[in-house]
Structure 1
Amino acid sequence: MTIKITGCTRFEGKYSVSRHSDKAREVLLDAAEELFALHGIDAVSNRKITEHAGTANHSAIKYHFGSRADLLRAMVQRAVGDVYAIREKLPLNSDVSALNLREQVTLYTLPLVYSFDALPKPSWRAKFLFQALLRPDLTDVLAGLVDEDFRGKDFPRRLPPELEGLPDVVISARAKILGLMLLGLCAEYEDSVNEGEQLGTWESVGYFLIDSVVGMMAAPSTSPADFMDFSQR
């Protein structure tokens, strides 16, 4: 199953900001996403973003988003919105009350991968999100958006049978690791696509990740996993 949606608005060559407010926001988001992915979030100033977006108004980010944190929140919100739109189209989404572990993992993983595949090329979304995931100051932003968009009233609250009997701390710790694994591998594959050196397809990446996540989440626990409080990280 391959689902395509229209993602970011890109322009050939140099970015160009139109007078339309929504279009201007999109161009700024695209410019920030690319620069953050290539150079790191802390290494890129608001001025560099506006210049890369093709506007002489160096206050454009403040005008359209407010603070730097608001810009980052908008970037993550856009990414999550794209994923959520795809998730709603999956057949599994019609009845989420009795999903097994593989079905739940599929409902999370495939829309994420499809959203990366749907972006204009070159793309920088996966690499940006991986960097954002590593920043402590963005933890609440990412968690809040994910909770809001992916754990709504329709998402199952019970554990799938495959995880019954595992300590909660083990499940939480594994889930934390999986976030890094998913976005880390997607960021690497995104780089290979940008360079024209990719093997396989985004969909094959998605199913590899599903197999890996299911195996890791359902593996027996042989230690108490009491070495770290994952709920605070």
Structure 2
Amino acid sequence: MVLDLLLGLLVFGAVVVLAKVIGWNPLKPPRNGRVDVYPLESDDGRIPSLGSAPAVKSEDETPPLTGTETTTIVGSQTLECGEDGSYRETKKRTAGNKFDRDHIPSKAALQQAAKDYIFENGITLSERQAAALFGDYGLISMAGQVIVTPKGDHKAFSQTYTNKNTPEKIERDAGNLQQAAEEDTRAMEEAEGKEMDADCVEKYRAAARRIRAKTHQEYIDDLAKLVDDVQAKYPTGGGI
């Protein structure tokens, strides 16, 4: 056992030395048109959980989410059906176990758009910076706009609910976030048999109009600002 451990350490050391010699950086954007900043894409094209990355918690140390688009509202104050705001603004409020916060555009699309921006601009992120951007409580998730939606409606009618949000859809939505928001909200508004009552329907429509007014370039500008912010907060060279 001791011999195996020593052999493992020698192999690890050799890999580290080789990486330094050839200048290999696993966080550097590749030249294949994809953005492989940490966290790397999984085989199915989705952005996986952060795994062993440094934990990134919110100010109140709330436990991390599951990383899916199905996000149950937690907190002590009351939210109303159809209410909108950023994830950061709504995360401390609750409406029992009746509602989900639906990211519009989807969190995965926003994250992919940010990865595309990072690649296109030749930006290299440290592991800590990437974790702070892409974590369940990372800057992108926290800044994303959500609409409070009945759980049943979210599951039945949202185009981005869990496995409905395919890699192909994520890629397409990332290329035009305004159009993605339009499609997502129209699908919900036009669905028949919703759980929403009349008051919620009106609030949802008003929230959807506000979200649809934001242009794709405005989303990209906001994501660029988040990238700048995380680089300023966690400068490279200071470890993770």
* Fold conserved between structures, TM > 0.5: no
Higher strand share: 2
Higher helix share: 1
Q: Which has the larger radius of gyration?
A: 2
Give the TM-score normalised by structure 1: 0.29
Give the TM-score normalised by structure 2: 0.28
